[in-house]
Amino acid sequence: MWQRGDRTEVTCIACGETVPRSKAREYDKHGDRWDREDKEFEHLCKPCYRMLCHQPRKGLETLLAEAGAGDVPQSEFLRRFSEAVDAEADSENERGPQQ
């Protein structure tokens, strides 16, 4: 089995638990874990990984950053995020169904 580096234990980014690498799953915040060139992966323990939503998330990281995730108070972030999601939904409705 191919392994990157010599790390035998990793820390889960969701719960903070340190687990053996064999008991964890790689997490790529850009959603493309198959493109491995020049990447440093974060990890999730298997229980946290199972709770993850595995739906496509194209553009989510950009949306979170633009809404100020981690940089503004939670209420401000939620307002910005909600407005951005609503604007995207309105834009998709105007374009009509994708074929």
Is there a domain that residue 81 lies in?
yes
Domain extent at residue 68: 60-95
Same domain flag for 13 and 46: yes
Name which of 67, 66, 86 is nearest 78 in CA terms. 67
Share of the chain above pLDDT 90, in %: 43
Considering its fold, how many domains does the chain have in total? 2
Q: Does residue 42 sit in the same domain as residue 16?
A: yes
Residue with tokens 């959603």: 31
| Amino acid 97: pLDDT | 61
Ranges of the chain with pLDDT below 70: 1-7, 30-33, 96-99
88 domain residue, yes or no: yes
pTM above 0.85, yes or no: no
72 and 41 fall within a common domain: no
The mean of the pLDDT values for the chain is 82
The residue ranges of DSSP E strands in 1-99, in sequence order, are 9-11, 18-20, 24-27, 42-45
The pLDDT tens digits of the residues spanning 36-50 come to 777 778 899 999 998
Please indicate, yes or no, if residue 2 is contained in any of the structural domains: no
